[in-house]
Amino acid sequence: MCKTVLIGLILLFAVVGCATSPTAVPTPTTTPAVLADCFQSATAVAWLDDNGNGVWDEGERPLPGVQFALSPVAQDGTATSGEDGVAEIFAWAPGECMAITITAVAFPGYILTTPKILDYVAANTDYAFGFQPASASALVETETYIGAIFTADATAEFIAWLDEPADGFWTPTAEDAASFENELAAFLQESGDDTSRIVAQLPDYTRQYFGIVQNDEELMFANFLCDGADYDWMETAVIIEDGGDCYFQVIFNADANTYLSLSVNGES
């Protein structure tokens, strides 16, 4: 009887002593989702909006050479309108697609008749942008003088007739014109030439103001006409040979507020 109990205790001890610890179960890991790249496209069209109503009417011509951009994008996203006025824009960005816009980049010499930025709706939507030629100049008129202030772009087109070399161009303001006119009569009287008739009739002259840059200084080239009503002086530079003191030019340093030169036409 005792022998049997002893043997049972030995077996029980052996079983307990050989037991192993339970195996740990690994915690499952979550695989991160991979976001696909976003590819987007848009069709932008540009046209000459002759009547300025913001609608591409029959007979209005397409406008080539206008650059458009989608934003924000990671790569590409720009295109230029062709002869048909159409620009096909393609772009991509990593991850989910974001809200984007279509922008008409500034086109020198033209102004927009439609919004510059349009919200993106869908790839099969045409985004239309109307343009009109920008005015070459702005009218400036006071009690003592009338003239046209030409834009930098217009001046760049007219540079061929200016005797002065230019490193660049700028657009004067009405305040710049006023600074120029402030001491003009005194400068003409002190020039050493016979300018008495010019000074006496100075308010009757039509002015054209052009901004040029020389050696990092902003200069004004002012053209004077005694018979401005005979010319389209708001749209183009009036180039006259001879004519005497009916036509003269003054160059003014707008940075230093000083007059540099006077040139009066001769007579044939």
Q: How many CA atoms lie within 13 A of 80 on its CB side?
A: 7
Q: Residue 9's pLDDT band (boundaries 50, 70, 90)?
A: very low
Higher pLDDT, 110 or 176: 176
Distances in whole angstroms, Cα of residue 108 to Cα of each of 32, 39, 131, 136, 154: 49, 31, 11, 11, 10
Query: Contact at 8 Å (CB) between 130 and 47?
Result: yes
pLDDT at 182: 97
How many Å apart are CA 213 and CA 70, to the nearest integer?
35
What class does CATH assign to 38-133? mainly beta
**So where are the chain's domains?**
38-133, 137-264
Is 65 in a helix, a strand, or coil? Answer: coil
pLDDT at 159: 78
pLDDT at 187: 97
pLDDT at 86: 96
Q: Of 69-73, 191-195, 247-251, which has the strongest mean pLDDT?
A: 247-251
User: Quick one: which of 128, 149, 117, 163 has its CA closest to 48?
Assistant: 128
Determine which helix (DSSP H) or strand (DSSP E) holds 91, and give its type and residue range. strand 86-93
Higher pLDDT, 260 or 94: 260
Average pLDDT over residues 169-183: 95
Average pLDDT over residues 130-140: 89
pLDDT at 161: 67
Higher pLDDT, 18 or 200: 200
Average pLDDT over residues 184-207: 93
How many Å apart are CA 130 and CA 118, to the nearest integer?
12
How many Å apart are CA 222 and CA 267, to the nearest integer?
20
Higher pLDDT, 27 or 225: 225
pLDDT higher than threshold 80 for residue 68: yes
pLDDT at 162: 65
Average pLDDT over residues 115-127: 90
Across the chain, what does the average pLDDT equal? 85
Average pLDDT over residues 6-19: 42
Q: What is the pLDDT of residues 210-219, one digit of tens each?
A: 999 999 999 9
Determine which helix (DSSP H) or strand (DSSP E) holds 200, and give its type and residue range. helix 196-200
pLDDT at 28: 55
Going by their DSSP bridges, the two strands 101-104 and 67-71 should be labelled as antiparallel
pTM assigned to the model: 0.59
With a CB cutoff of 8 Å and minimum separation 6, the contacts of 144 are 181, 202, 203
